[in-house]
Amino acid sequence: MLVQQILSRQGFHSSTFLLKDNKTDKPKGTGFEKFFNKDGDSQKKDDNVEKKSSEASESNKKSTEKNKKVEFEWNFKIPSASQSEKFFKDNPDSQRSLLMILGVGVFLAYMYIQSLSAQRIKMTWKEFVQKYLVSNQVESIVVDEKTAVAKVSSLPDKVIVFEIGSMESLEHNLENIQNELGIDFHNRVYAQYASSNTLSKNLPRIFDIALMVGLTYFILRRMGRGMPGAGMGPGRSGPGRPGRGGGIMGGMNPFSAGESYAKVIKQGDINVSFKDVAGCEEAKIEIMEFVNFLKSPAKYEELGAKIPKGAILSGPPGTGKTLLAKATAGEASVPFISVNGSEFLEMFVGVGASRVRDMFETARKNAPCILFIDEIDAIGRKRSSGGGISGNSEADQTLNQLLVEMDGFNTAGANVVVLSGTNRSDVLDAALLRPGRFDRQIYVGLPDIKGRSSIYKIHLAPLKTDLDKAVLARKMAARTPGFSGADIMNVCNEAALIAARNGATQVEDKHFGAAIDRVIAGLEKKSSVLQPREKKTVAYHEAGHAVVGWFLEHADPLVKVSIVPRGKGLGYAMYQPQEMFLYTTEQIIDRMCMTLGGRCAEKAFFDQITTGAQDDLQKVTQMAYSQVTQYGMSEAVGQLSFQSEGNQLNKPFSEDTGRLIDEEVRRIVNEAYERTLNIINDKKDLVEKLALRLLEQEQLERNDLIAVLGERPFKEKSTYEDFVEGTGSDEEDTELPEGLKDWNKKDDVKEAATS
């Protein structure tokens, strides 16, 4: 009652105390409700504040007469970290207000320290004596270690600061000077000693340390939000192990630097299956065998077979290595753990090896499981030989730990299959590739024409078109030799984009043709300005390529010629290469002559050459050197092969042999040039006729070429049926081996039982 009367006299009708009535248990006030009105009449309550204050004494009397017992309950609680996080997440304005308050506080503290510094005037002992001590203005001198602070009468708001040698020398100098001035002992100034542990002296130092710690925390906090695994909630490692997110430091916790970024993918997270993979049936069967072993190990163990420890998927970019891994994750009924090889590379020594240990620890906890390491060449490169500054001890340490984890003393009984993908299997360490670690090396190469047809069927399925997709897939497969799965997906997507750009309601055959041109030759530059002389030169140059290739037996069939600039080129001739794995000397020479057709046409018609044949000359030079140094097709050099390893300093042959190689290459190129020039001179009228047609139409299709040059005198293959003739079947063989035909039967039984 007494406390209530005191609060009433002071006007505290609502406070941080909670007043409860024992009879009704109704709160008298819980905070600042008098400033907020749910019914919208807050203005009315504000007007009655003064009236309520005047009636405070009367309410006290009434409460006394009713003899009510009042309890006080302290209603202040310190919020937990999760409550604070949730509060600031739900109230971003409060977070900004708190940051503004902290910023203002730091600014005021800084200004206070600056004001303290502004009140101190630094000078030497000699200046202090001449200005203030001689004129008897000094009121006091306080010494703190090697610094003296003097207060003078002429500067009441400031102090004088000067350095001293020692306390004894200061006292001696003060006594001598004041004796000379004749100051009596009652008015003399004496030095006083003060303790150095004063708050005012240490405050700037404390503030600097606090500011540095605060900035470091803020930077780490901001960096942690941008890192994988930062923030609240479970970590990247998935179930079964502590996460990297959350905590006071979020994703930048220095104590979690050695934790792996391996992510456990649950079944159903990835909607890719083996039916979405085509063009690499052999590699798919190899991977399906891993999944089948983990699903049904009994039939393998009965025969005494052991599951392979791992497999490396290697091959050119875009052939489907990562897609196979995704399909494995989508089909596997066991945990699938994914990690990138570059995530083991850090600037801190020992972090890579620690993350490898943590990754395999996670894998063993989830065994049986599949562990996929993408781009393993980042950590699996050949170890440096010997010490010295050229060695990379951190990378070697990470690789050594990987070798131990894959086949070491602690790997017995661990049912963990390791898959990896790389484009550079040639740079991997030999110890990593040996059986017992990666038992299988699966090469995923570029798809053949049957594989391309299967891939086209997958990517044509979602496109809106009236064309027969099965026939279209075969046609596109024949027109795009050497394309990878990624290139095929890009062609289908570009065709749909071009159709939408042109306002078409469906994707037509011309859109697919334009998409192939876009992927092979680059973006069409219709706005590019060419001078008439340059345009004429480009037309004769491309006509030379077309005519020479048309009348050479082993040259690729010509599909299209254009002088519309695309990409980096001013014109292009598109051929349909045949899928061949073996080439004879005559076939290579014919390809060289076809490539030199543009340069010979410039020489024959304009009696001068231009820089437009630079790319052609590079190709011709490479083909000639390959004949001499790799394929053993030169009688002078003999049956020798020297593998090229880039810009190597020590060549594997002598200077005399190098001189002989250069002479042979020059001879081969000159003979091809003379042969091409003779063809251009013999067919000069056809070259000119084709060039003039190009200047008129700018782009000629195969029918236009036949109209100008006549039928080609050699038999050529151009359709899908021509290319697959004699190969056994028209489609890709997708039949599974007998032991894998029921590889997903177990899942089907489970689904049927569930339904």
Nearest CA to 108 among 218, 214, 205, 207? 207
Distances (CA, A) of 572 to 67, 516, 575, 645: 104, 13, 10, 31
% helix / strand / coil in the chain, to the nearest 5? Answer: 50, 10, 40
CA distance 178 to 187: 10
Compute CA 673 distance to the chain's CA centroid, rounded to the nearest angstrom. 48
Three-state helix/strand/coil letters over 549-565: HHCCCCCCCEEEEECCC
Query: What dihedral do alpha carbons 735, 741, 743, 749 form, nearest 10°?
Result: 130
Torsion angle of C-alpha atoms 463, 469, 473, 475, degrees rounded to 10: -120
- The active-site residue, picked from 281, 405, 542, 602, is 542
Spatial CA neighbour of 282 closest among 475, 440, 460: 440
d(CA 23, CA 43): 31
| β-pair type (263-265, 336-340) | antiparallel
DSSP per position, 96-143: HHHHHHHHHHHHHHHHHHHHHHHTEEE--HHHHIIIIITTT-EEEEEE
Torsion of CA 736, 739, 740, 745, to 10 degrees: 130
What Å distances lie between residue 725 and 170, 187, 418, 526, 720, CA to CA?
A: 110, 123, 40, 40, 9
Helix, coil or strand: residue 232 = coil
To the nearest 10°, the Cα dihedral for 706, 710, 712, 715? Answer: 90
Of the candidates 578, 574, 622, 620, which has an alpha carbon nearest to the alpha carbon of residue 599?
Answer: 620
Amino acid at 507: V
CA angle 325, 299, 415 (to 5 degrees): 50
**DSSP designation for 39:** T
Give the rounded distance of the alpha carbon of 165 from its chain centre: 61
Is residue 295 within 8 A of residue 742, CB to CB? The reply is no
Give 657's Cβ-side CA count (13 Å radius): 13
What is the per-residue burial (b if ≥16 Cβ within 10 Å, else e) of 56-84?
beeeeeebeeeeeeeeeeeeeeeeeeeee
Give the phi and the psi of residue 41 in degrees, each rounded to 5. -105, 45
How buried is 489 (Cβ within 10 angstroms: 0-12 exposed, 13-18 middle, 19+ buried)?
Answer: middle
Amino acid in the structure at residue 59: S
The answer for residues whose C-beta is within 8 angstroms of residue 373's C-beta and 6 or more apart is 339, 340, 341, 379, 418, 419, 420, 421
Consecutive H or E run containing 421: strand 416-422
The rounded distance, in Å, linking the Cα atoms of 306 and 310 is 12
Inter-residue contact 700 to 694 (CB < 8 Å): yes
Instruction: Look up 302 and say whether it is catalytic.
Output: no
Three-state DSSP class for residue 13: coil
How far, in Å, CA of 561 to CA of 565, rounded? 12
Find all residues with CB under 8 Å of 148, minimum gap 6, and list them: 141, 142, 161, 162, 163, 164, 170, 191
Tell me which residues are annotated as active site. 542
